[in-house]
Amino acid sequence: ASESMLSITVVGASGDLAKKKIFPALFALYYEDCLPKNFTVFGYARTKMTDEELRDMISATLTCRIDKSENCEDKMEQFLSRCYYHSGLYDSEDNFSELDTKLREKEAGKLAHRLFYLSIPPNIFVDVVKCASIRASSMKGWTRVIVEKPFGRDSESSRELTRSLKRYLSEDQIFRIDHYLGKELVENLSVLRFSNLVFEPLWSRNYIRNVQFIFSEDFGTEGRGGYFDHYGIIRDIMQNHLLQILALFAMETPVSLDAEDIRNEKVKVLRSMRPLQLEDVVVGQYKGHSKGSRSYPGYTDDPTVPNDSITPTFAAAALFINNARWDGVPFLMKAGKALHTKRAEIRVQFRHVPGNLYRKNFGTDLDKATNELVLQVQPDEAIYLKINNKVPGLGMRLDRSDLNLLFRARYPIEVPDAYERLLLDAVAGERRLFIRSDELDAAWALFTPLLKELDEKKIAPELYPYGSRGPVGAHYLAAKYNVRWGDLS
Ligand code: BG6
């Protein structure tokens, strides 16, 4: 067989995502010897830049997360020497054919595989795939295109985007990223569930009282207000990141770990969900706030955000799955910016022990005695289980403690960034962690009616101070279903 050549073209190379995530992830893969022997990286963007300038730009964000030795410095140099730049417009066939010529020079005589990462706004995805000779039939190897959300604003616009992309690409070539699926603890969720007898049989309404998916950031939309105001937190975090985790959490056991088997189950569970209703949602927006000598800006203080914006920067929602496994179990989601902490976690609250012999030792609050399993996705990856135990001593005082697996303490290795895993999978053609079009469609079907209603009725968000725990409405929503947010209790 002839030798192959992999070219990775980052379209939108001068953007933030490319600088902060994509190039560093490619370098980490190179460092770990995960990229093929022959590969080249091309940056493409409108900014005029030489190859050298691109290398300088990239090198500013490369770090040696694995080791800090000279070896790493050498590897950086080697990696940078394989990076090139081509400046062009996103809708210019001529500019893209110049890029094509450069790619062909590198590919000469080899089996050519091309991976394009569209690190650009979705409204220009189609221009690029049209021009980028992405579908050039003369190429012998595979061609794949990675795209990243927002995939539309609702069912309709998302379908339209899918339709337009499919004019130029087959579903097989489209890799829709949800970077939360690349996170270590999200990968671990299935392992925990399907390979532990102490959890697998409990994974249903019979033992689980509610499940919570919590995302919070301790900073606002600083600098991204323009983008954010068009989408809001429900589209930015819930409809994709949190819902993807929910689907993995709640799906039936797949036939195998193959991409199609897993994605079939995810689609099934998404399609079994009850569309969201307005009364099961609380929206909030952060307002300016000063603490001591520091003052924090409100969302609408951002110059790129209209002063009268009612875009939610916080939302809480109660979702339900109408199937035999989960009937009646509230799946609560909460996502917010400018809160008191930065964290993402999954919390599973179990039912009470029937006829608990120690009932009276817990006083009136039996809820304090239920088990809770927590997957702390970030920061500081951990899995812990809250159990009841006796406080040592002659009396009988009960307490709740954590059985704790803290990954940093257990494994002396750096956890790879989500983008490393996802890029590696895209190169390998592994689709398990990418979103299939019917999955995307089901995810939008769940949220679209609610989003329309929020827009039409111009529902005003509950204001919460920057750095607080969010609107109190979230507590009432949980209380309606007899739930307490695990992160706050
Ligand atoms: C992105 C959102 O998808 O995820 C951002 O658009 C958010 O608003 C980011 O800040 C959070 O990702 P991470 O990996 O930093 O938790």
Q: What is the DSSP string of 178-247?
A: -GGGGSHHHHHHHHHHHT-TTTGGG-STTTEEEEEEEEE-SS--TT-HHHHHHHHHIIIIIIIIIHHHHH
Contacts of 438-441 spanning 24+ positions with Cβ under 8 A: 438/267, 439/247, 439/263, 439/266, 439/267, 439/270, 440/151, 440/158, 440/162, 440/176, 441/155, 441/158, 441/159, 441/162
Q: Is 178 in the pocket of ligand 1 (CB under 6 A)?
A: no
Q: Which of 174, 88, 176 is nearest to 132 (CA)?
A: 88
Q: Is 236 in the pocket of ligand 1 (CB under 6 A)?
A: yes
Q: Do 335 and 238 contact (CB within 8 A), yes or no?
A: yes
CA of 345 to the centre of ligand 1 (A): 14
Query: Predicted confidence band at 286 (pLDDT cuts at 50, 70, 90)?
Result: very high
ipTM for this prediction: 0.98
Q: Which of 290, 276, 285 is nearest to 220 (CA)?
A: 285
- How far apart are the two ends of the chain, measured CA to CA in Å? 61
Span 333-381, pLDDT tens digits: 999 999 999 999 999 999 999 988 898 888 777 777 899 999 999 999 9
Report residue 476 as tokens.
């009432």
Looking from the CA of residue 344, the nearest atom of ligand 1 is: 16
CA of 393 to the centre of ligand 1 (A): 47
Q: Do 312 and 176 contact (CB within 8 A), yes or no?
A: no
Query: Predicted confidence band at 188 (pLDDT cuts at 50, 70, 90)?
Result: very high
Q: Considering 113, 241, 352, 475, which one is annotated as catalytic? A: 241
Is residue 241 among the annotated active site residues? yes
One-letter amino acid at 68 equals K
The secondary structure element, H or E, covering residue 74 is: helix 70-80
The secondary structure element, H or E, covering residue 450 is: helix 437-456
Q: Whose CA is nearest to atom 5 of ligand 1?
A: 236
Report residue 481 as tokens.
């279903």
Q: Residues 262-271: what's their mean pLDDT?
A: 98
Span 219-233, pLDDT tens digits: 999 878 888 999 999
Looking from the CA of residue 240, the nearest atom of ligand 1 is: 3
Tell me the best of 178, 180, 237 to mutate to test the pocket of ligand 1, counting ligand atoms within 8 Å of each CB and taking the most: 237
Cis amide leading into 150 (omega within 30): yes
Tell me the best of 228, 233, 235, 241 to mutate to test the pocket of ligand 1, counting ligand atoms within 8 Å of each CB and taking the most: 241
CA of 247 to the centre of ligand 1 (A): 19
Report residue 240 as tokens.
């994709």
CA of 341 to the centre of ligand 1 (A): 14
Predicted confidence (pLDDT) at residue 65 exceeds the cutoff of 80: no
Span 467-488, pLDDT tens digits: 999 999 999 999 999 999 999 8
CA of 216 to the centre of ligand 1 (A): 10
Looking from the CA of residue 228, the nearest atom of ligand 1 is: 8
Q: Whose CA is nearest to atom 10 of ligand 1?
A: 217
- Residues in contact with 246: Cβ distance below 8 Å, sequence separation at least 6, in sequence order: 211, 213, 319, 331, 333
User: What pTM, to 2 d.p., does this model score?
Assistant: 0.95
| Residue 41 main-chain phi, psi, to 5 deg | -115, 130
Q: Which of 474, 476, 483 is nearest to 216 (CA)?
A: 474
Q: Residues 444-458: what's their mean pLDDT?
A: 96
Q: Chain-centre distance of CA 112, in angstroms?
A: 30
Tell me the best of 236, 313, 345, 415 to mutate to test the pocket of ligand 1, counting ligand atoms within 8 Å of each CB and taking the most: 236
CA of 222 to the centre of ligand 1 (A): 13
Q: Whose CA is nearest to atom 6 of ligand 1?
A: 236
Q: Is 345 in the pocket of ligand 1 (CB under 6 A)?
A: no
Looking from the CA of residue 227, the nearest atom of ligand 1 is: 6
Looking from the CA of residue 180, the nearest atom of ligand 1 is: 14
Query: Predicted confidence band at 73 (pLDDT cuts at 50, 70, 90)?
Result: confident
Sheet with strand 83-87: strands edge to edge: 83-87, 39-45, 4-11, 111-118, 143-148, 174-177
Q: What is the pLDDT of residue 453?
A: 96
| Residue 346 falls in which region: left (phi positive, over 0), alpha (psi -120 to 50) or beta | beta
Percent of the chain whose predicted confidence (pLDDT) is above 70: 97
CA of 288 to the centre of ligand 1 (A): 22
Looking from the CA of residue 224, the nearest atom of ligand 1 is: 8
Beta bridge partners of 316: 282, 334
